[in-house]
């Protein structure tokens, strides 16, 4: 089967002062032969950048002959009714709680007993799986998709750690995921999931992220700790550790009365 490409991007990559350069964004998509721009935010609106609200993106897309669509089933803010939540302490096995609010999407401290979206459960959720299946259908129709969210860096966004990892697991034999980024020369470029996986483990195990957050101690990096995690080899265990750690930083809390419209919508 011919190999195809699925792209992702964050609209803040095209920030120009206080606005988003919509024209540059769509011209970039055209350069990658994208036919459909798919919004994977749970709610496709932004207070800070209203030009990236769904209606405005849809209107802009017509000028560039690119179709716009919203797929909320691929958003990261799960409904409380979905069976995708776990206690934070069941997701990551080390005692590092509480997680400071500055490192959490709701800007609220995370305690060990609180429930958040569990990435591993989410990737197997039926509603989410329906969205992943729609991606396959799109490629059966010879479309080329770009999944859009907010974050400039894919490593900080669910389009990498939830959506693209699932796509890679299911369709990796014929579909490559490429994340649109800005390289060190300030040029538009792409980065693969494999590269991001390596970046993530380097961030965590070189402690650059840990030191910045100041929430882990050095004993967590002893080899024996890694043996508590899942995988058939050392690298898979490292990937599992990294995935679970990142889960604590990015998994939304199970909301009871939370109005997500109070937050700038990043997921």
The dihedral region occupied by 207, where left means phi > 0, alpha psi between -120 and 50, and beta the remainder, is: left
CA pair distance 156, 146, nearest whole angstrom: 17
pTM of the model: 0.86
Q: What is the mean pLDDT of residues 29-34?
A: 98
CA pair distance 42, 208, nearest whole angstrom: 30
Going by the DSSP 8-state scheme, the letter that residue 40 receives in this structure is: -
CB 244 within 8 A of CB 121: no
CB 196 within 8 A of CB 206: no
Strand pairing category for 36-39 and 19-20: unpaired
Model confidence over 144-185: pLDDT tens digits? 999 999 999 999 999 999 999 999 999 999 999 999 999 988
What is the structure's pLDDT at 256? 67
Whether the predicted pLDDT of 16 surpasses 90: yes
Q: Which two tokens stand for residue 108?
A: 């609220």
Residues near 3 by beta carbon (within 8 Å), at least 6 away in sequence: 174, 175, 176
CB 33 within 8 A of CB 144: yes
What is the structure's pLDDT at 94? 81
- Residue 266 included in any domain: no
- Residue 161 included in any domain: yes
- Residue 265 included in any domain: no
**Residue 1: band (very low, low, confident or very high) from pLDDT cuts 50, 70, 90:** low
**Residue 13's closest CA among 194, 157, 142?**
157
Q: What is the mean pLDDT of residues 104-115?
A: 94
Strand pairing category for 115-117 and 85-87: antiparallel
Q: What is the mean pLDDT of residues 118-126?
A: 94
Mean pLDDT of the chain: 88
Looking at the DSSP bridge assignments, the partners of residue 176 are 5
- Residue 51 included in any domain: yes
What is the structure's pLDDT at 218? 40
CA pair distance 160, 243, nearest whole angstrom: 11
Model confidence over 174-221: pLDDT tens digits? 999 999 999 988 899 999 998 998 888 777 666 544 443 443 444 545
CA pair distance 123, 74, nearest whole angstrom: 10
CA pair distance 227, 181, nearest whole angstrom: 34
- Percent of the chain clearing pLDDT 70 (strictly above): 87
Model confidence over 53-83: pLDDT tens digits? 999 999 999 999 999 999 999 999 998 989 9
Element (DSSP H or E) covering residue 103: none
Among 38-42, 89-93, 122-126, 237-241, the minimum mean pLDDT is found in 237-241
Q: Which domain covers residue 159, as residue numbers? A: 4-255
- Residue 264 included in any domain: no
* Phi–psi pair at 85, nearest 5 degrees: -110, 150
CA pair distance 172, 104, nearest whole angstrom: 31
Nearest-5° angle of CA 199, CA 202, CA 204?
Answer: 110
For residue 227, with 0-12 CB atoms within 10 Å meaning exposed, 13-18 middle and 19 or more buried, which class applies?
Answer: exposed
178: three-class secondary structure by DSSP: strand
- Residue 262 included in any domain: no
**Residue 262: band (very low, low, confident or very high) from pLDDT cuts 50, 70, 90:** very low
What is the structure's pLDDT at 241? 83
Domain count, the chain: 1
What is the structure's pLDDT at 235? 74
What is the structure's pLDDT at 216? 40
CA pair distance 166, 160, nearest whole angstrom: 9
- Residue 263 included in any domain: no
- Residue 94 included in any domain: yes
What is the structure's pLDDT at 224? 53
Whether the predicted pLDDT of 240 surpasses 60: yes
């Amino acid at each position: 089967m011919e190999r195809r490409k699925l792209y992702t991007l964050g609209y803040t990559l095209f920030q120009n002062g206080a606005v988003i350069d919509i024209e540059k964004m769509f011209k970039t998509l055209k350069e990658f032969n994208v036919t459909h721009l798919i919004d994977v935010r749970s709610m496709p609106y932004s207070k800070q950048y209203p030009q990236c609200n769904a209606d405005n993106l849809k209107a802009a897309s017509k000028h560039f002959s690119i179709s716009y669509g919203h797929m909320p089933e691929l958003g990261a803010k799960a409904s409380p009714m979905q069976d995708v939540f776990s206690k934070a302490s069941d997701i990551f096995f080390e005692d590092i709680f509480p997680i400071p609010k500055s490192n959490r999407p709701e800007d609220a401290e995370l305690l060990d007993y609180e429930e958040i979206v569990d990435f591993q459960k989410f990737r197997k959720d039926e509603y989410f799986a329906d969205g992943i299946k729609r991606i396959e259908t799109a490629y059966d129709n010879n479309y080329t998709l770009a999944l859009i969210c907010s974050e400039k860096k894919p490593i900080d966004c669910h389009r990498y750690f939830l959506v693209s990892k699932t796509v890679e697991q299911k369709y990796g034999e014929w579909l490559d995921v490429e994340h649109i980024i800005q390289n060190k020369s300030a040029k538009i470029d792409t980065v693969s999931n494999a590269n991001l996986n390596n970046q993530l483990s380097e961030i965590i195990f070189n402690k650059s992220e840990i030191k910045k957050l100041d929430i882990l101690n050095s004993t967590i990096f002893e080899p024996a700790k890694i043996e508590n995690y899942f995988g058939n080899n050392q690298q898979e265990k490292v990937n599992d550790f990294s995935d679970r750690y990142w889960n604590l930083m990015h998994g939304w809390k199970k909301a009871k009365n939370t109005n997500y419209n109070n937050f700038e919508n990043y997921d």
